[in-house]
Amino acid sequence: MRRYLVVAHRTLDSHELAEAIHDRMAEGPSRFHLVVPEDHGHGLLWDEGSVRVEAERALEENRLRMTMEGIPVTGEVGHGGPVLATRDVLAREKRDGHEPFDEIIVSTLAPSASRWIGMDVPARIRRLAPEIPVTHIIAARERV
């Protein structure tokens, strides 16, 4: 069974990410693990509690939706940014003796709206895990 790590937050329910997940399901038995990094937004005004609650809400809504669609999915909220959250998942999986992921799917907004692209997240994750293919999905819109 193929294993996929999906790194997303504001684009978790995008059409483009759903299509990528369904494409992988069509290729054969698959499992997905969502990591939703906490999103500290654009400004200086945020608090740790509300950031975590928002990430947990996004994760649970999308995990339930995917489960109802018959997609085997687990997930977690990641601390820090998307690269640190990915690093933490990969380190834990290796430490616990799990097989490596077959692919990492990073979902972002379009370049004009994406902080993750500005932070070079897809390339940084590729450097973090050079042995795992990384696919960058660009969503046309963020979730509402």
What mean pLDDT do residues 3-29 have? Answer: 96
- What tens digit of pLDDT does each residue of 30-70 get? 999 999 998 655 444 445 567 788 889 999 999 999 999 99
Please, which pLDDT band fits residue 78 given cuts at 50, 70 and 90? very high
Closest among 82, 77, 81 to 58, alpha carbons compared: 77
pLDDT of residue 38: 87
In one-letter notation, the amino acid at residue 141 is R
Give the pLDDT band (50/70/90) at residue 139.
very high
Does residue 71 surpass a pLDDT of 90?
Answer: yes
Return the structure tokens found at 88. 């933490």
CB 107 within 8 A of CB 114: no
32 or 140, which is more confident: 32
Radius of gyration of the chain (CA): 14
Q: Three-class SS of residue 125? A: helix
